[in-house]
């Protein structure tokens, strides 16, 4: 699953590829929890086990991608 985070006053986005078994609803819950506190920090672990921290006050937006099995490629894709 891919997570894309926009950072305030930065032209680049932070792209994080999470492990295949990551629960999408849990990631969204973690993002909401971090954003509810102005001093909060969003911690995510990528598929290689590296931990990434983003201060909630600097987050412009968060885009959570689909699970790997939900992705469709080819003519049958909606």
Is 25 a domain residue? yes
pLDDT of 8 > 80? The answer is yes
If one counts the domains in the chain, the total is 1
pLDDT of residue 68: 54
Contact indicator for 11, 60 with CB cutoff of 8 Å: no
Give per-residue pLDDT as tens, 17-75.
998 888 999 999 999 999 998 899 999 999 999 999 999 999 999 999 876 555 566 67
Domain assignment present for residue 53? The answer is no
* For residue 4, pLDDT beyond 70: yes
Tokens representing residue 59 in the block: 């987050």
The boundaries of the domain holding residue 7 are: 1-40
Tell me which of 11 and 72 has the higher pLDDT: 11
Cβ atoms within 10 Å, residue 46: 15
Q: Whole-angstrom Cα distance, residue 17 to residue 20?
A: 9
Q: Which of 19, 16, 15 is nearest to 68 (CA)?
A: 19
């Amino acid at each position: 699953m891919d997570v894309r985070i926009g950072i305030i006053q930065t032209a680049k986005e932070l792209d994080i590829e999470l492990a295949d078994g990551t629960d999408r609803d849990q990631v969204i819950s973690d993002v909401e929890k971090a954003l509810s506190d102005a001093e909060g920090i969003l911690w995510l672990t990528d598929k290689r086990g590296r931990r990434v921290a983003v201060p909630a006050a600097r987050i412009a937006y968060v885009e959570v991608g689909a699970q790997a099995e939900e992705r469709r490629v080819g003519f049958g894709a909606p």
